Amino acid sequence: MTRKIHLALHPYGVGGPGQHGLWRDPSIAKNASIDIGYYIQQAQAAEHALFDALFIVDSQFIDPTYPAHYLNRLEPLTLLSAVATHTKHIGLVGTASSTYNSPFNLARRFGSLDHISGGRAGWNVVTSFDTGTSRNYGLDEHLDYTTRYGRALEAVRVIQGLWDSYEDDAFPADVERGVFLDPEKLHALNHVGEHFRVDGPLNLSRSPQGQPVIFQAGVSEEGRNFAAQVAEGIYAPAGPLDQARAYYEDIKRRTAAAGRDPEHIKIFIHAGPIVRATDDEARRRAREIFEEDNDFDRDLALLGRAFGAHDFSQYDLDAPFPDVAHLAERGGRTAAAKIIERARTEGLTLRQVVEASFGQKQSPFVGAPGTVADAIEHWFAAGTFDGLNLAFRNNEDLERFVDGVVPLLQKRGLFRTEYESGTLRGNLGLPVPVNRHTRERSLVDA
């Protein structure tokens, strides 16, 4: 097999969604989510294991019911800039909303991270689905799906244009001639669109990888079409194998239809491997983790995120699931639609919906090292992913995977034994984008 698996690490800090009890773990520092030392250690451990990237999620609205990690955490770009100075190879992917940021600021911030890291930056483009975020930015309500994705597509195009402000050889820095900049290699953008007006140019040259890598995580129709047009990496939900394969095939098909090479979009599915000496020990630990995190009231609150942070505690738990479909348009519409459809077809009460949504789901990547490696190989060969976005409960679980599973994947020729490149693009097997102005110039010259 010539294809290689890509691995990314998604640190939880003191506990994200589905990890409500993690902060109680004695091995977890109670300030982990705001301790840069924690993230540096995580990144260095992942880099030692030859992982492709460190992935940092984000949101900009909380209430007291949110998971512990969400309540008190560092801003992604600031965090990753610090990590960049303590690592050499691992990619650094940060989340930022296209809905609540201006393209020029995003272009400059991610471009700066790309330079600081030597070409290892990635931007996870989100449109945000917490409606409370809108009120933190002076808006009465969150934008609807169509507007959010239209704005996101235009934002990415503007940002990519700004990243091309300088051609690669724009700075001769010729002391003898007294020429620092070749002005013909500097280009204003002069963009006027539906959502943005941006003149440019950006006051930052291109990095060794040309442009940061664009990641995205949408599963709706709008999200999938957006990904097909601009994404180079996707963070996808796992689900059952058949669903994961269908999603993978759909994205690759849409990418080809958009005129792009399907190999230039890498799909990562979420995975939380639990590795122990035997399969029975691993399954027991999986059950223990579920019991440690199982909290009905927290799950009830978390259910509301898909419906624009709606408060479900106001309803009778044992009455039929309430009619809240109208709230989904400005929340997580795809997830909300699935919840509503299941409640309707199975006649579930609100309590049953919470229990069904947050009950223990058996991961395929639980067991002894060989069992987990077999499962990863099976899913990879079945065409469900290009990479795994891995979340571990603590450092010990990360070490068990690195020491027990990674060597088996390497032995089977499924994972690298050394980094192929010093850039994130190079390690993901993605091409360096040719500067648009250089390309136009070459066409004219031809």
Q: Is residue 423 part of a domain?
A: yes
- State the pLDDT at residue 240: 92
Query: How many Cβ atoms are within 10 Å of 258's Cβ, its own excluded?
Result: 14
Strands 197-198, 191-192: parallel, antiparallel or unpaired by DSSP?
A: antiparallel
Statement to judge: residues 93 and 210 lie in one domain: yes
Out of 327, 358, 389, a domain closes at 358
Q: Is the pLDDT of residue 1 over 60?
A: no
In terms of pLDDT, which residue wins out, 415 or 445? Answer: 415
The whole domain housing 331 covers: 295-358
Q: Which pLDDT band, with edges at 50, 70 and 90, does 360 fall under?
A: confident
Statement to judge: residues 251 and 324 lie in one domain: no
Out of 358, 378, 394, a domain closes at 358
Statement to judge: residues 368 and 407 lie in one domain: yes
Q: Once rounded to an integer, what is the mean pLDDT over residues 27-42?
A: 97
Q: Which pLDDT band, with edges at 50, 70 and 90, does 238 fall under?
A: confident
Using a 10 angstrom Cβ sphere, with 0-12 exposed, 13-18 middle and 19 or more buried, the burial of residue 174 is exposed
pLDDT digits (tens, 9 = 90+) for 264-306: 999 999 999 999 999 999 999 999 988 888 888 888 888 887 7
Statement to judge: residues 57 and 147 lie in one domain: yes
Q: How far apart are CA 94 and CA 78, in angstroms?
A: 10
Q: Is residue 222 part of a domain?
A: yes
Out of 358, 382, 404, a domain closes at 358
Closest CA to 266 of 226, 222, 223, 215: 215
Q: Is residue 316 part of a domain?
A: yes
pLDDT digits (tens, 9 = 90+) for 71-96: 999 999 999 999 999 999 999 999 99
- State the pLDDT at residue 332: 66
Q: Once rounded to an integer, what is the mean pLDDT over residues 412-438?
A: 97
Altogether, the residues listed in the chain come to a count of 446
Q: Is-contact 125 156, C-beta < 8 A?
A: yes
Q: Is-contact 270 217, C-beta < 8 A?
A: no
Ramachandran quadrant class, 406 (left: phi over 0; alpha: psi -120 to 50; beta: rest):
alpha
Cis peptide before 26 (omega within 30 of 0): no
Q: Is residue 285 part of a domain?
A: no
Statement to judge: residues 352 and 218 lie in one domain: no
Distance from the Cα of residue 68 to its chain's centroid: 19
Q: Is residue 287 part of a domain?
A: no
Statement to judge: residues 331 and 306 lie in one domain: yes
In terms of pLDDT, which residue wins out, 46 or 313? Answer: 46
- State the pLDDT at residue 446: 65
Statement to judge: residues 335 and 247 lie in one domain: no
Closest CA to 399 of 53, 42, 39, 40: 42
Q: Is residue 289 part of a domain?
A: no
Find the largest Cα–Cα distance for the chain: 82
Q: Once rounded to an integer, what is the mean pLDDT over residues 46-70?
A: 93
Statement to judge: residues 314 and 375 lie in one domain: no
Statement to judge: residues 343 and 252 lie in one domain: no
Q: Is the pLDDT of residue 330 over 70?
A: no
pLDDT digits (tens, 9 = 90+) for 204-234: 999 999 999 999 987 888 889 999 999 999 9
H or E segment and range at residue 388: strand 387-390
Statement to judge: residues 350 and 373 lie in one domain: no
In the predicted model, what is the mean pLDDT of the chain? 93
Count: domains in the chain = 2
Q: Is residue 422 part of a domain?
A: yes
Statement to judge: residues 192 and 119 lie in one domain: yes
| CATH number of the domain residue 188 falls in | 3.20.20.30
Statement to judge: residues 171 and 103 lie in one domain: yes
Q: Is residue 288 part of a domain?
A: no
Residue entry with tokens 């239809």: 257
Q: Is-contact 74 48, C-beta < 8 A?
A: no
